[in-house]
Structure formats: structure tokens, C-alpha cells
Structure 1
Amino acid sequence: MSRAFDRVLKRCVASWNLLKYKAISARTSAHRVLRDWKDLVSEDELRSMEGSIEPYDFQKVLYEKLESLAGSGGLLVVEAPTASGKTEAVAAAFFSQLAEGDWWLAPRLMYTLPTRALTLTSYVRLCAYSKGVAGLLGLKPLPVSFEYGSTFTAKHYLYGAPVVASTLDAAAYGYVAQRVPGKLKNPRLSLPTALLATSLAVLDEVQLYQDEHYYSPAVIGMLLRPLVSAGAVVVIMSATLPSLLLEELVGSFEYERITSQGVKRGKVAVDIDFLRSGRELPDALDEREVLHSIREALSSGSVLIVSNTVKRAIECYGLLKKHFPGKVLLLHGKLTNSDRERREERLFGERLVVVSTQVVEAGFDFDANLMITELAPLDSLIQRAGRVARQAGASGKVLVFNVADPRPYASGLVRGTRALLLETNGKALEESLHSVEAAREHLDEVYIKPFVEQLKEAAAQLLLETEAYLRSLRLFSSPPEEDFKLREGFYVTVVVPEVYERLLQERTEASA
């Protein structure tokens, strides 16, 4: 491991931690602290915080693996528990090029995530890293851009900065010539293979691409293989990676693999008594025993309640507002960026009961004493429980409740998870929080091949159409006649008149 990587990694971790601390102290959002970075963050504070940071072994190995892949390209799979520093490690490898004065790895970092909310959070983190590293080296910060499917002009579209936080959808639809940000002057602005092949491409939280028919993982595999063949360095990261999901993503390609042997975090106890007795949300939140647990946890920290659907999350929120007025916050994926930012301003400065959906499963840097969750597939439960007792020496508790309707998940995955939790008395979930090897072993008990193959049958025709599209795709040509979808679902094309688009762009630039 190079000395430059060690210095930059410590600075990345310190920059993000100090940003959060400043947000907590000022009772504001991380976004606002980022905008006032020069006034609020000092080099002395960052250096002081760096003193207590020691890189994990897997982070050092990650740098060495990237060194070996640079130049020829290749695929790297990183498995590490939640809150272990995967993002800092891969970002530090990229930013360390500044300290070394040699762009040996890639001139561009393309950091992709499954959802817009996660992408926005990662954008803030990458901005913090960039500003912190710039202060360390006495340089100007590398520009960072945020892309989630906007309709603005070409300069904002994935080419806007050497560091890009993007939804995978935005990158993928550009790659297959389906994005049209250039309007009539440039109706097909593609994202060529050559541009991606010269980037460090990161796919984080890949477990979230698992869908009802395992369609998206198969499509992502189709997209990745030609990129790796073209010499791209691609990093796949997750804390919960079933063997069958990895098979879909990498196919027959050779790949390097890093598995973390564990990180420092608190102890989490999993209680499945409510699951065993069949109690469900939101009704159980009115029970005296549950309310007592929430009040007790609030006396020393925050509480997280996770529902599988927006409808039930709203019902839980409405019920809990009566018991904890002014202390309940609702988060879900249908909020606008500005609304979500306003609500998240409260997260760091108060003890709250946060009611949410799956949006907290990844990239949600929040630490709770108690989590109450509906039953979901094991990988989702591991991610949710990863928001509890994140600091070494802390302790927390997870209460798992039954769910009558498994949607939006496949019923077989929910049944398999229920059986595993009951059989192990919740230990399968506890073990998975501390060891990715234990997590993989337990996940493979739920994601069994016959069941996954059965799921895939329903999407077989759509996969054939997608494969035909990709085989027919040619650079600088009109898109093939076949249809392309990264995700299953009903797609709608929305045309926004340019007058409204200009107004929206003016407002966005004014608020920046």
C-alpha cells in the first residue's frame, strides 16, 4: 500500500466524519455544511480527526488489487459489512492519484448506485472527499457532478466532471443510446464504451438490483462484460451478495475478490418473538410493550422503523405521531430531493423516531439504538439492521415483525427468510452483520438455484429482446428497433416543453 493512499484514505474518512459532526452541531444538513466548507471546516480539525483513523486490511488490499488491474482492466468484487468504509477505500484509491502525481488508475471516477436518493448521498460524500483531499494537498478540489436522469444540456450529462455520482440507469441508458439530453441539436448523446473503458467504474449496493424475476442482474451482466473486455476497471461492491447474484453479474468472466474479515461495530440483538407470534405493523405499534421499547430507546438515541411499502410507512407515521408528537420523521423514495434534504436536516441534530421504507437499506448514514422492521428477504434485513449500533462498543436491538403481503418482494424469498430466522432464533441475522462470509452462507440458504431459475423464466422473453438490442447497437447510429429496459416495469416517455425546462434549470442553478 502506498503512503499516498494511506494519507488520502484517512483524509476521506475524516472529511466525511467531520462534515457529519458539523451538521449535528449546527442542526443542519450535510448539504449546507458542504456549501460553507471553507468557513466551517479547518485543516487543524481534519488533521486532529485523522489521528485516530487506521485503515482496515481489506481497504489496503483493495488498493493493491486496483494496482494490479490498472492498464489491462478487469473486474473486482468487494464484500464488506455495512459501515466498513468501502466507499472511502475506492474513492481514496482514485484521489490518491493526485498525491502521487500520476493518473495510473483512471482519469475519471464513475460511481453508480441503484437509486436517486442513494446517488445524492454519495454525491455529497464524494464532494466532501474532494474538498478534504484538496486541502491536504494544497490543490483545488476536483469537480464532482450529480446525474440521475436529467434532461439538461450535454455539459451536465456524465461528462461534467472527472468525478461523477450517477444512477446506474442514467449511465446505462446513455451507453445504449437511449438518453436524449442534447434535444434537437444532439438528439442522441451516447456514452461510448471508450469513455467508460477509461474510467474507474463502481457499482455500489448491487444487491438492490435484485428484482422479482432476477431480470436487472442479467442485464447488468450483459452491459459489464464488453466493458471489461475493452479494458475498463470495474468494481462491484456489496455487504450482502448471494452467490447466484454474483453469477448473474459476472457470468464466466474471471474476477478478483476481496472479502473483509470483519470490522469494528457494535453488538446487535435480534428479537423474533413478534415474528413468531404473527404480529404486524402498523397495528402492533399501538401495543404497550412496543411503545415502551421505543420510549426507552429514545432516551439515549434514535429509533428506526422500516416498512416494505410507502402505504404502510405512512400508516405507521400517522399512528406514531399521536404518541410522540414532534419526534416522528417520515422518509421514503417518492420524496423530491429538496423535500428529502429538508427532512434529513433533522436527522443529525435530534433524537427521532424515523419511519421509512427500503430507502434506508443502503447509503443511509444514520445510527439507531432500536430498529423495528417488517419481515423482508434476508439481504434487505441485513442492510436495515446495519443502521443499528454502527459504532464500536455500542449496542442495539432489532425487532422483526410479520408481514401478511410479501410484496414488493417474491413470496418465496420472504418465506425462506422467515424459516431461517425461526430456525436460528434470529442468529442468522446477527451473524451476518459481522461477517460477510456468514452473510453469504445464510443468503445462499434463501436464494437457492431452483427458485431463482423459476423466477427468471417469467422474464426470459424480455431478456432475449434486450440481448438482441445490445447485439445490434452501433456507435453513432440510430438505436436498434428492439426494445431495451434496464429494469422490468411499465415505461412512460415524458416530454417537457423547453420553456418549463429552462425555468427548472434556472431555479436549480439559483439554489446551487
Structure 2
Amino acid sequence: MKLCYAKFNPHQYLECHTLDAINVLKSIKNSFPWLEELSPGIFERSFYAVLLHDIGKCASGFQKKKNKWGYRHEILSVPFVQFLDFSERERNLIALAILTHHKTLDELEEILPVRIDNIGPLEFDEKLDELLERAEYIEKTFISRIPNIEAYYFGTTKLPKRFNLPPDWKERLRDFDFQKLTEWYENNLEAERGTLTFMRGLLNASDHLASAGETEILLLPDIVERLELKIPMRKLRPLQVAASNSEGNLLLRAPTGYGKTEAALLWANRNAFRNKEGITSRIFYVLPYKASINAMHQRMMDIFSDPSLVGVLHSSASFYLYTSALEYKRLSSLYHKIYTPLKVTTPFQLMKAFFGVGFHEMLKTELSGSLIIFDEIHAYEPNVLGIILAMLKELEGLKAKTMVMTATLPDFLEELITDTADFRELKTSAEEADKFTRHRVHVIDGGMESVGELIADLGIHKKVEETSRPGLVACNSVDQAVRVYKELSEDYRVLLLHSRFTYGDRETKEKLLLEKMSEYDFVVATQVVEVSLDLSFSTILTEPAPLDALIQRFGRVNRQGWKEGRIEDVYVLTKGADADRKIYNPYDVVEESLKILQDFDGKELRESLIPELVSEAYAPVSDELVEKVRDYQNTAQDVFNNVKPMRTGEDEQKFYQMFNGLEAVPGVYQGRVSELLDKKMGMELYRYLIPIPMWFYHAERKNFHRLSDKGYGKYILVAELEYDPNKGLQRVPLSEGDII
């Protein structure tokens, strides 16, 4: 009897891979009970989809040539569903899940068998003959074991015995009507949208995890027990206690340093589904920037210890894992599957489920019943906010719960959120908030033109000497930051931090700050400092910005001062660079923020006043911003409604155009990058990449070119611009010289 393998590296028999996938499905079934409420019978149907999904691999051509066979094994698997004792609807749902578990319907439609006047299709008949060469194996080895697999999955008292192979099964396989199946899909799409999504999502999840060598999904341990190792529950603050007792969606506002992260975890612990083994709900902790995501991942790792329990998802997460000495290949793959119970991520990763990107049904299945925490939600542009609001609507329908938290939330944004979904609101009392007051504001006429003289006049350098902590100089643009860095470097020890450094140099700079902060007099930085490392500077001199952004910058000064009731001075300039009007649009918010701060010149900025002041700063443009956000929300909702399960998302390309930035190698490093590619050391290449905004690429397009990919899998963009590890990428064409 000829054997049948489902996997070849290493070899694995069909029944073994199928049982592994069944184990994964059983694990999800025991963990995701809400799916039965959303689609009754989903786990019984999915069992048979998983059971039969790879049976077409028994074709002799596939066994000999695998990926070079030239036909789709799932097309041969589908006809077996006719032997299931289900209604036509349920058989069609199972058939469609099997048919699309690798390719979408639109990708398959040209090769699906279609018979006209009982003639053809010859290729399907030929491939079916190849399958029937393994008929003995199918009957005596694989199908004979189905009753035992059913007993294992359903339990001996609940055996459905749905699969019955008739004597004429070989002839009946040939007569399966694929055209009728696809017509049923089109006619029932709207009514079955959710079920089709979960059918494909569960089969993909089971198949992908089994192929990765996993046989179950992981659960999170009790969060309170883990947190108690860090914070005794008797020392919880009032809002943390309130969050731990809140059920349903929650909107929380509290000062920086209050412990919002712990409050969010306690809320998640309260609202999570769980079984005897642990918390079954997937938890997504959403942040706007990679730097804050990486820092939060490390913080969660400190609580939960196991990297399999805490995932990280963003566009360069693999490099972050690689540099963290973690098992990056395995983990970066598993973090994209329904495996890891807690993931720290960007909103763009979640948006893929609703834009129809990739295996979006699997992500949408994972998001069902989930707990989603949006931190620093104020930091998003109107287009992203609009999409997030549209997502909130969709998530409600998936039985997910959401927590939104921030230290600075304008009233207009709060109203947008609470109008979209039902949220309970928690805010610190004025008395409690004021305990976290740490800053005295000084508004300084002028800009950064003679920053060295300004620092001397204000006595900022003396503060640096007294505290042995560097002062922070915050600029709104990279060009301004580089100019200020050059000037200050003549007299002080200065470190420059902005977004146009290679990932390797950025990592080095952040390590220097963490380990040798006292060796610098000043750190000059752009907005990256608002969400960067957990550092505390002696003081700050900053260009004008919207009040919420300024509050974030102030938060980098005297971070733990509230413990001792210590107040430190912060300095805000009245004049920025001309380019700031493009960075902050509408600029009215910046001008209004300066007016507000003028009233506090020389005074403490009490934390209890900040929410009201931020709302006041946005008041002149709130109607305009609300209209923008609502327009984006409605557009996003239209896109979401247009996404069809089991088909390629029509707006997938639009998603990547909207959110995928570019990455480039500085011209000075292209020789080294070519060498790494020749040595197949692709992960090391990331050290030499720089994130490039689209506006920058278009402005300097003549200075970019493509480097041959040399098998890397995608082209490498090269920026023929000056690069210095201390200053970053400059808007100056690369001069003649040796390429490293």
C-alpha cells in the first residue's frame, strides 16, 4: 500500500498532520466558547473541514513533486464533503473552507473544474486518477480512523458519525459540481458572512499552527496573581481598583505615572473569558509607535516572563526580537497566529482584519471575544482615528470589549469615542490628579536660533550640572534638530535622537541613554522623545507644539518627582520653524496652546487642569477635526462592508499605500548590505535600514535608487544622501567617496 504524506520537511503522514490540526481546533474550541454564540455549530462543521482539508494531497503527482506538481490539492479534497451527513448549507460551508484554505476564490476561479455537456474537465479527471492511485490508503488508513478521531474530538457520548463513505465513492468524486458551490457562495454571501469568516479562520489557524509544530493555543495565567508579584493589591490606587471592577467598554483618563497599564491589565482580568487552565480571551495592547511598543513588550515580559505568552507585532518586530536575543524566527511567525494570548501591537496590524489583508479571516476570528486596550489614543492623525472608530463598531459585533486610556484627551475626541460605542468613563479626582503635579512652566519669547546663548541665559546648564542628568531640547523637525545639535556640540556633550537613523544606530543610541545617561549634557530630539524610552531629564527646552504633545514632552522631565512632591522647570519657546505649519495642521492648535500656557508662565501646571486645558486648546478647530474624523470613519466603514470572506480584499493594496512607509539603506552602506545579501544574512541588513516617510521620498526621489535584491525577496531602496551615525540621514546628496 502506497503511503501519503502531508508534510515533507520533515516527512509527516497525512493522518498525523490532520490529528495535529484537530488538536489545535479542539484547543480553540475549549477556549473560544463565544464563537458558538456568533455561529451555532461552528466547531462541528470546522472539525470536518480540518479532517478533510488535505486529503487531496494523496494524489501521486503531489507526493512526487510537492510544490512543483502544478495543481491545487484542495480542489481534490473538496468533493469528499458530499459524503457528510449534513444539510446542503453546512456541506457548502465546509467545502468552501477547504477550497479556500490556501488560495481565495478569486485566485482559484480560473482553475476550478467546470463541466459543459458532461464533457471535461480533463485536467481534474487526470488529477483525480492520481488521487485514486492511493485509494487503498485513503480507505484503509485514513478514513478507517475517522471514528476514533471523532470520538477524541467530540467525546464518546456525543459521536455524530457524520462521515459515511459509499461503495461508489470514486465515481461520485468525479461528479462534484464546483460551479454550483460558487453560485451558492454568491447567493448566500450576505447571510453567511460571519460564518464563512470563522470557517476559513478556524481552518487556517488549525492548519498553520499544526504546520508550525504546535498542537494547542496558549492561555494567559491569572493577571492579578502575576501583578501581585510586582504591586501588592492593597496598594492599588482608586482608579486601578475601579478599573478592576469595571465590566464592558471603559474610557480611563489619568496622569502620566499613575499606573494606567496596571489598570488596563486589571480591567482585562475582570472582563476575560476563562476556563480551568487560564484566561482564554486574546488581549491586544495597542500603541501608536514602535519605540513604545518595544518598551511595553519588555514591561509585559517582566510581568509574564514567557516570550510565548507575550507577542509583539509591528513592521520591524522580527528585527526587534532578533536584537533582543529571542527566538525570532519561530516567535515572529507564531505571533501572527492564534497562539500567543497577549500581543502588543500597532492599530495597523488589527486594521488588516477589516481591510481584507492577508488571511484576514484568521485575525478576525482571533479578535472575536478579545480585549483590546488602546493606549495614547490622542496621538493618532484624523485618518487613523476615523478607522479606529469604525473598528470599534465592528469589534462590538464580534463580542470584543475595548478600553481606551490616555493622560490627555480633548473633549471632542472623548465624544467621538463615546458616540461610537457604549463606554463607562473613569477619571481621577482633582485632588488625586494634583498629587502628580511635577512641572513649573516658563514661556520664553523667541526660537532656537541661538540656542547656546538661550541655555546660558536661562541657567539650564547649571541644572544639568546639579542633577547630573542631561537636559532635553525638543525640536519639531529633523532638520531643526540637526542644526541645534551642531550648535550645542561646540560646547557640550550632546546626543541626537530622531527618526532618520538606521535601526542599528537608533538601538545603539537608546542603549547609551539607558546605560550612560549621565555622560551627556543635552539630548536633542524630535517628537520621537514623546513616546520613547522611560527616561527622566533634568529639564526641557522645547519648540511650540499642540498642548497634548507638550504635556507628553514635559512627561520626560522629573518623571518620579510626584513621589517627593518635587517641581521642576520646563521651558516652552514661542517661535518654531517655518516647517512646523506643515507638521501641525491646523496650526491654530499650537497658537492656542501658547496662549493658554502664557497664563501659567512661572506657575505650576497642575495635573487636574490638563484635560480641561487640552480641550480648550483644540476648541477652535474641534468642529473641523470632528468632521474630518467622521468622514474617515464613514469611508472606512464602507471599505469594511466591501470586504468579502474567502476573497482577496479589493482594498488590500489601498491599505498598504495608506500605511506602509518605506525603508532605505544610506548610500554609504550599500556595499556592506550587498555583502550581507551575498552571505544570506538578511536579518543583519535591518541594522542599516532607515524608515523613510513618503513625503521625504517624493521630495528627494532623484537621490533614491534600487539595489538588486540578490534573492532577498524584495528590492532594497538606497538613499544616495549623506549619512552620519551621529547626525542621521541628511538632505544632502552623497559626495564622492568609498562605499562601506
TM-score range, shorter chain: 0.7 to 0.9
Amino acid at match of 2:315: G
Q: Deviations over 1:461-505 (max 9, x none)?
A: 7665433211111222211359755996896799xxxx8997435
Question: 2: distance between equivalents of 1:127 and 1:425?
Answer: 41
**Residues 387 and 482 of structure 1, relative CA distance in 2, 3 Å threshold:** closer
Distance 1:500 1:248 in 2: 52
Residue 129 of structure 1 corresponds to which residue in structure 2? 303
* Alignment partners' CA distance in 2, 1:335 and 1:504: 19
Q: Please tell me whether residue 146 in structure 1 is matched to residue 312 in structure 2.
A: yes
- Structure 2, unpaired ranges of 5+: 1-221, 319-328, 665-676, 687-740
Alpha-carbon distance change, 506 to 398 in structure 1, aligned in 2, over 3 angstroms:
closer
Q: Residues 84 and 258 of structure 1: is their aligned pair in 2 closer, same or farther, counting only changes over 3 Å?
A: same
- Aligned to 1:232, which of 373, 384, 400? 400
Q: Tell me the SS of whatever aligns to 1:251.
A: helix
Aligned counterpart for 1:268 among listed residues 434, 439, 442: 439
Query: Which of 258, 261, 264 is the matching residue for 1:84?
Result: 258
Q: Normalising by structure 1, what TM-score?
A: 0.73
Query: How far did 1:83 drift?
Result: 1.5
Task: Report the Cα offset of residue 282 of structure 1.
Answer: 4.8
Query: Would you say the 8 A contact 1:304–1:372 is kept in 2?
Result: yes
The whole-number CA distance in structure 2 between the counterparts of 1:163 and 1:332 is 30
Secondary structure of the corresponding residue to residue 367 of structure 1:
coil
C-alpha RMSD over aligned residues: 3.6
Look up the match of 1:63.
244
Specify whether residues 257 and 356 from structure 1 end up closer, same or farther in structure 2 by C-alpha distance, changes over 3 A only: same
1:220 shift after superposition: 0.9
Alignment of 1:86-485 (within 5 A): 86-92=260-266, 94=268, 106-131=280-305, 143-149=309-315, 154-157=333-336, 159=338, 161-178=340-357, 180=358, 188-209=359-380, 211=381, 214-261=382-429, 262=432, 264-265=435-436, 267-272=438-443, 274=444, 277=445, 279-287=446-454, 289-290=456-457, 292-300=459-467, 301-325=469-493, 328-349=494-515, 350-351=517-518, 352=520, 353-362=522-531, 364-391=533-560, 392-393=563-564, 394-402=566-574, 403-405=576-578, 406-407=580-581, 408-410=583-585, 411-425=587-601, 430-431=605-606, 434-435=607-608, 438-448=609-619, 451-455=621-625, 465-481=635-651, 484-485=654-655
Give the 3 Å change call, closer, same or farther, for CA 341–492 of structure 1 in structure 2.
closer
CA distance in 2, matches of 1:335, 1:476: 41
Q: 1:118 to 1:481 in 2, by over 3 A?
A: closer
CA deviation profile, 1:348-373 (whole Å, cap 9, x unmatched): 34323222111222353111221111
- Is the contact made by 1:373 and 1:399 (CA closer than 8 Å) also made in structure 2? yes
**Separation in structure 2 between the aligned mates of residue 85 and residue 356 of structure 1, nearest angstrom:** 26
How many pairs align?
Answer: 427
Distance 1:255 1:472, change over 3 A: same
Shift of the 298–249 alpha-carbon distance from structure 1 to 2, 3 Å rule, reads farther
TM-score with structure 2 length normalisation? 0.52
Question: Does the 8 Å CA contact 1:78/1:236 hold for their aligned counterparts?
Answer: yes
- Counterpart CA distance in 2 for 1:197 and 1:189 is 12
Distance 2:315 2:339 in 1: 14
Alignment partners' CA distance in 2, 1:280 and 1:90: 40
The offset of 1:221, in angstroms, is 0.3
SS at match of 1:398: strand
Max Rg structure: 2
Give the distance between the partners of 1:256 and 1:409, measured in 2 at CA: 31
* Residue segments in structure 1 that go unaligned for 5+ positions in a row: 14-49, 70-74, 132-139, 181-187
Q: Compared with structure 1, are the counterparts of its residues 442 and 287 closer, same or farther at alpha carbon in structure 2 (3 Å cutoff)?
A: closer
The one-letter code sitting in structure 1 at the alignment partner of 2:441 is V
Deviations 1:54-81 (A, max 9, x none): 221111111111xx23xxxxx2111111
- Distance of aligned partners of 1:296 and 1:93 in 2 relative to their CA distance in 1, 3 Å threshold: same
Q: Distance in 2 between matches of 1:459 and 1:97?
A: 29
Relative to 1, partners in 2 of residues 1:488 and 1:251: Cα closer, same or farther, differing over 3 Å? farther
Answer yes or no: is the 8 Å Cα contact 1:267–1:396 preserved in 2. Answer: yes
1:9-46 alpha-carbon deviations (Å, 9 max, x no partner): 34346xxxxxxxxxxxxxxxxxxxxxxxxxxxxxxxxx
The answer as to whether partners of 2:301 and 2:310 remain within 8 angstroms in 1 is yes
* 2:682 equivalent to 1:504: yes
* Structure 1 residue 426 displacement after superposition: 6.4
1:92-148 Cα deviation digits (max 9, x unpaired): 5557999x98578653221111111111111111111112xxxxxxxx675222210
Please state whether the residue corresponding to 1:389 is helix, strand or coil: coil
Give how far 1:199 is off. Answer: 2.1
Q: Return the alpha-carbon distance in structure 1 between the equivalents of residues 616 and 337 of structure 2.
A: 39
Three-state SS of the structure 2 residue aligned to 1:340 is helix
- Please tell me whether the aligned partners of residues 536 and 556 of structure 2 are also in contact (alpha carbons under 8 angstroms): yes
Q: Specify whether residues 203 and 501 from structure 1 end up closer, same or farther in structure 2 by C-alpha distance, changes over 3 A only.
A: farther
Name the counterpart of 1:16: none
Letter in structure 1 aligned against 2:260? K
Q: 2:229 aligns with which of 3, 6, 11?
A: 11
* 8 A Cα contact 1:281 1:374, kept in partner: yes
Aligned equivalents of 1:493 and 1:308: distance in 2?
Answer: 21
Q: Is the 8 A contact 2:253 2:405 kept in 1?
A: yes
Change (3 A) 1:321 1:248: same
SS of corresponding position for 1:305:
strand
Q: 1:309-345 CA distances to partner (integer Å, 9 max, x unpaired)?
A: 12111222222222213xx222223344443332122
SS in 2 for 1:84: coil
Equivalence for 1:39: none
Q: Distance in 2 between matches of 1:160 and 1:424?
A: 51
Change (3 A) 1:507 1:145: farther
Contact 1:221/1:251 (<8 A) preserved: no
Structure 1 pair 107–481 and aligned structure 2 pair: CA distance change class (3 A): closer
- 2:159 aligns with none
CA distance in 2, matches of 1:375, 1:361: 14
Cα distance between partner residues in 1 of 2:654 and 2:417: 18
Look up the SS of the partner of 1:348 in the other structure: helix
Cα distance change, pair 457–175 in 1 and its aligned pair in 2 (3 A): closer
CA displacement at 1:389 relative to structure 2 = 1.6
Report the secondary structure of 2:390's partner residue.
helix
Partner of residue 62, structure 2: none
Q: 1:250–1:470: structure 2 CA closer, same or farther, 3 Å change rule? A: farther
- Give the 3 Å change call, closer, same or farther, for CA 373–103 of structure 1 in structure 2: farther
Q: Which has the higher contact order (CA 8 A, sep 6+)?
A: 1
SS of residue matched to 2:476: coil
Amino acid in structure 1 at the alignment position of 2:463: E
Is this contact kept in 1: 2:338–2:366, CA < 8 A?
no
Question: Which amino acid is the alignment partner of residue 599 of structure 2?
Answer: E
What is the identity, as a one-letter code, of the residue corresponding to 2:451?
Answer: A
Native 8 Å contact 1:204 1:238 kept in 2: yes
Structure 2 counterpart of 1:134: none
